[in-house]
Amino acid sequence: MKFFLLFLLIVSISATAQINPSHITIARDSFGVPHIFAPTDAEVAYGLAWANAEDDFTTLQLVVLSGKAMLGSALGKKGAQADYVVNLLRCRQLVDNQWQTLSPDFVALIKGYVAGLNAYAKAFPGQIKYKKAFPFNEKEYLTAVVFSISIFCGADHVLPQILSGKIATIGFTSKGSNAFAFHPSRTTTGEAFLAINAHQPVEGPTAFYEAHLQSEEGWNILGGLFPGGCLIFHGTNENLGWAHTVNNQDKIDVFQLQMNPNNKNQYLFDGEWVNLEVAKAKLHVKGIPVTIGKKVYWSKYGATVKSKQGVFSIRLGANMDCKALEQWYRMNKAKNFTEFYKALSMVSLPMFNIMYADRYDTIFYISNGKIPFRNPDPKYQWRSTVTGNTSATLWNEFKPITALPQYINPPSGYLFNTNHSPFLATDPLYNLNPKLFDKNDGYELFDNNRSKRFTELMKGIDKMDYEHFKRIKFDEQYPATLQFAYTIDSMMQLDANAHPLLKNIIINFQQWDKNAIANSKGAAVFLLVYQYLVKKLAGNAPRAITVQEGIETYQYVYDYMMKYFNSTNLVLGDIQKLVRGEDVRPAGGLPDVLAAAYTAPYKNGMLRVTTGDAYICFVRYPKNGLPIIESVNTFGASSHPDSPHYKDQLELFQHHQTKHMTLDKNEVLQHAIKIYHPVNN
C-alpha cells in the first residue's frame, strides 16, 4: 500500500515538474480567443491560466483571494463577508480532508493551472493589484472552487434570509440560460444540433470566458468557463458537447436548532445537549489595520448561524464533496455517451441541468444535482425550515445519478430547458411524470415565458433546419400568454381615453405585440412596468394587478419618461443600453425572453444590460469530421479597454450574429493572428 501511494505521489509531482513553458503554444485567433496546445493536460492548464491572466488578471486575483479567505483585504466589508462564509462553510477544511481522494491526473491538472498563474504573477509583478494574492497553492485554488459552487447552490441566498428573519420558505429563482438539443432524425441535415446559451452577468467574475484547449493526451475542447476555471464548464469536444442551465431543485436545507436555555452554545439532539463547535474566523478588511475575529459555529447539520430569530444550521452537498471540478474534467475528456454518463455518476457536480448531444446519434438531458435521501415523513417540510433536534432529519447519503429526472433519445427527437420544469422537456407525449419522483427533491413544476415560447416555435416543425434553430435562440418574442407571477390584464384593458395624460403610454402598451426588439415602443413601456412592479410587489404572492395599481404603474412610467427623456414616445433602445466602456448602444431583449436582458441603472434614466444573453455557442455534429461550431460572447475576450478584443464581438452580439470557431489545430495555427509561448518576452 505504501508503495502504491508513493507511486501516485511520484506521478503527480512528475506531471507538473515536467512543465516547460516553451512546449506550450497559445494561438490567438482574429477575435483574441486563446487556443492552447501542449503535450500534456497539465501544460494546457498552465497555458490557460497564462492566457486568462493576460485578458483579465484583476478578476483572477479576486478568485485567488477568495480561496485564501482574504477578499476583505481587497474589497473591504463586502469581501470580508465572503471570507466569513468561506470559513463558515469550512471550505478549506473540506479540501484538506478530501485532498487525498482526488485522482492524480486531476491533481496534476490543477497544479499546472496554479503554476501558470503564479508564473504570470512573477513575470509581471507590476500588474499585481492585490499583493496578498500571490503566491497561492493548489488547496487555496480548490477552496475557491468549493466556495463558488456553494454560492451557486444557494448559500448566498439562504444566509441573508436567515439573518433577516425571512426563513419560512427557502429557495431562489434563476434569471436564465437556454439549452436545446435536436437528434439527427429531427434535423434537415441529419446532424445533431446543440445550443449552448448561458444567461450570466455580462462582466465580472461570473461572465463567461471562451477558450480552446488541446493536449496530446486526448483533450480537445472549446467552450466557456468563468475566470479562474482550469477547464471548460460547457462546450464541445471532438465527439460530444453539453450545455448547462441553472436548476432549482432543493439543494440546501435549513434546520432550526433547539438551544439550551442555560448554555447558549448547546443544542438538543436525540434527547441530549450537544456542544456547538466554535472557531474564530480571522477577517482582513481593507482600511482596517488589525485583523477582525468573528466566531463561526458548526453543528451536526453543518454551518450554523445565530440570529435574532434563533439558531439555524444549513446543510448542502456542495460543501461536502470537493470533486465537482474533477467531474467536469471527466466530462471534458469523455469520448462518447458511456464515458460521459460515467463522469456524471460521480455525482460530485451538485447543480445545473445538463443538455447533451454527440456525433453518435445521442441526445440527453438530466436535471443534475447532489440530492440527499431525505426523511419522507410529511411532517418535515423540506422546502421550509426543518426541526434540527433529531437524527431523523440528519441526512448523510445522496441519490445516485439514475434516480434523477433524465431523458435519452426521446421519440420526439428534441429536448430543451430554459430553467423550467424537467418534466416539460420535450413533446408532451414523452415527458416524464413528476409523480414518479420524490416531491421532497423539490423539482420545478412550472413553465416560464421562454419554455412556452419555445413550445410555440416548435409548432408545425417537422425537420428542424439549422437557420431556424438559431432563430429560436435569438427570438425576442414573449409567448401569447405571459408567464409572470403578476398578471397585468387590467392594464391591457384600461380605457386610455379616460386618462388623457397617460393616453399615449397606455396605447403604446396595449398595442404592443410582446416583441422585445430595440425599436419597440410597447417594449419600452413594459421594461419600466416590469421594473416598477418587481420592486413594488417583491415578496408578495402571485396575483393579478388591480386597476388602481395599473393606473399607478402607468403614472410611474409617464413620470420616469418625462423626467429623464422629456418624451413618452420612446422605444426600448432609447432606455435600455449595451454598455462597454464608452461604447453605448441600443439593446433589445427583456426579462425571460429567449434572448434575455436584465438591467441596472446606468445614467440619465438609461438602464444598462448587466445580465442576460452571455456566451452563445451553436454546434452541429456531422457523422464524420469535427463538429461545426459558431459562437459569440457579449463583448470580447479581453477586459482591457485598450485591447482590440475589448469589444470586438459587440457588433456581432448586438445583431444576433456569430463567429466561426474550430477544434482543428492546423486551421487555428494557419489563421492565428498571434502565436507565442507563455514566457515574459
Nearest to 608, CA basis, from 589, 631, 636: 589
Looking at residue 539, its pLDDT comes to: 81
Looking at residue 680, its pLDDT comes to: 65
Looking at residue 25, its pLDDT comes to: 98
As a three-state string, the secondary structure of 393-419 is HCCCCECCHHHCCEEECCCCCEEEECC
Is the pLDDT score of 219 beyond 50? yes
Nearest to 355, CA basis, from 260, 428, 449, 425: 425
pLDDT band at 289 (very low <50, low <70, confident <90, very high): confident
Query: Tens of pLDDT along 486-508?
Result: 999 999 999 999 999 999 999 99
Is the pLDDT score of 165 beyond 90? no
Query: How far apart are the C-alpha atoms of 33 and 453, rounded to whole Å?
Result: 33
pLDDT band at 175 (very low <50, low <70, confident <90, very high): low
Structure-derived torsion over alpha carbons of residues 74, 80, 85, 86, reported in degrees to the nearest 10: 40
- pLDDT above 90 covers a percentage of the chain that reads 91
Q: Which residue has the higher pLDDT, 6 or 671?
A: 671
Q: To the nearest whole number, what is the mean pLDDT of the chain?
A: 94
Q: Which residue has the higher pLDDT, 633 or 18?
A: 633
Angle at Cα 539 formed by Cα 152 and Cα 168, nearest 5°? Answer: 70
Q: Which residue has the higher pLDDT, 23 or 679?
A: 23
Looking at residue 194, its pLDDT comes to: 98
Query: How far apart are the C-alpha atoms of 527 and 525, rounded to whole Å?
Result: 6
At 417, phi and psi to the nearest 5? -145, 135
At 510, phi and psi to the nearest 5? -70, -25
pTM of the entire structure?
Answer: 0.94
pLDDT band at 5 (very low <50, low <70, confident <90, very high): very low
Query: How far apart are the C-alpha atoms of 131 and 486, rounded to whole Å?
Result: 49
Mean pLDDT value of segment 469-491: 96
Cell representation of residue 469: 434553430
Query: How far apart are the C-alpha atoms of 285 and 308, rounded to whole Å?
Result: 25
Is the pLDDT score of 392 beyond 80? yes
Mean pLDDT value of segment 591-608: 97
Is the pLDDT score of 136 beyond 80? yes
Query: How far apart are the C-alpha atoms of 390 and 659, rounded to whole Å?
Result: 57
Q: Which residue has the higher pLDDT, 415 or 170?
A: 415
pLDDT band at 17 (very low <50, low <70, confident <90, very high): low
Looking at residue 161, its pLDDT comes to: 77
Query: How far apart are the C-alpha atoms of 45 and 24, rounded to whole Å?
Result: 10
Query: How far apart are the C-alpha atoms of 533 and 60, rounded to whole Å?
Result: 37
Query: Tens of pLDDT along 40-49?
Result: 999 999 999 9
**Beta-strand relationship, 263-269 and 272-275:** antiparallel
Is the pLDDT score of 427 beyond 70? yes
Cβ count near 292 (within 10 Å): 15
Contacts (Cβ under 8 Å, ≥6 apart) of 105: 15, 41
Q: Give me the domains of the chain, ranges plus CATH numbers.
A: 178-250+321-378+400-473 (3.60.20.10), 486-607 (1.10.1400.10)
Nearest to 173, CA basis, from 149, 199, 196, 194: 199
Residue that is written with C-alpha cell 421532497 in the block: 440
Q: What is the largest CA-CA distance in the chain?
A: 88
Mean pLDDT value of segment 223-250: 97
